[in-house]
Amino acid sequence: MTPMLPRLINLALALAGGALAVFHGWLFAWQAAAGRLADPWVIFRWAAAIALIAALVAVHRRGHLLWGRKGVSIWLLAAMLHGPAIADNESFEPFALPEAAAASVLQLVSSAGLALGLWVLAALLARRRSSPPTLRSLDAPVGVARSVTAGFTPQFSPRPPPLRS
């Protein structure tokens, strides 16, 4: 991986995390101003969110934020925490869900494909820089072809040799 790519990934993750934190801060302030924090379920969801944030911080310190089993389970709990918020929304139309899901999945798949392609390209470029091809590696198929045409055939055994008694 090129040295610049991890910095760009960390910067993008930091910006996305910051935007997410600002949005949820705005949402909490809006709910407090609208008087929705009197509802015990809303208070419970915010308390669960704070517990999930603490769990994510603990898992991040161990280095398993995205790919570890605990990290994935915490992200799944966070996704489940957002379910009642979507259902409580007055402008929620259940018939618009398939279109929204299709658009989200399309964006997710195309972004993942682009990221995977860039990752593979960076790995190939890093491998190319670390080990340049040698003349011997390029000449190997030609050498095998010359030995076969000269009447030499390598020994081939379709089964392993018998065991010694």
- Domain interval for residue 79: 40-92
* 160 within domain boundaries: no
Q: How far apart are CA 30 and CA 45, in angstroms?
A: 15
* 148 within domain boundaries: no
* 34 within domain boundaries: yes
Which residue, 92, 109, 134, sits at the end of a domain? 92
Neighbours of 59 (CB within 10 A): 20
Whether residue 61 sits in one domain with residue 85: yes
Q: What is the pTM of this model?
A: 0.49
Whether residue 47 sits in one domain with residue 24: no
List Cβ neighbours of 24 (8 Å cut-off, separation of 6 or more).
49
Q: How far apart are CA 15 and CA 8, in angstroms?
A: 10
What pLDDT sits at residue 61?
84
* 154 within domain boundaries: no
* 150 within domain boundaries: no
* 4 within domain boundaries: yes
Neighbours of 32 (CB within 10 A): 13
Which residue, 51, 68, 92, sits at the end of a domain? 92
Q: Could you list the mean pLDDT of each consecutive 10-residue stretch along the chain, which spans 165 residues?
A: 70 84 90 89 90 88 76 84 72 60 77 84 77 53 52 63 77
Q: How many domains is the chain built from?
A: 3
Q: How many residues does the chain have?
A: 165
What pLDDT sits at residue 109?
80
Q: How far apart are CA 86 and CA 111, in angstroms?
A: 24
Nearest one of 51, 71, 69, 52 to 61, comparing CA atoms: 71
What pLDDT sits at residue 123?
81
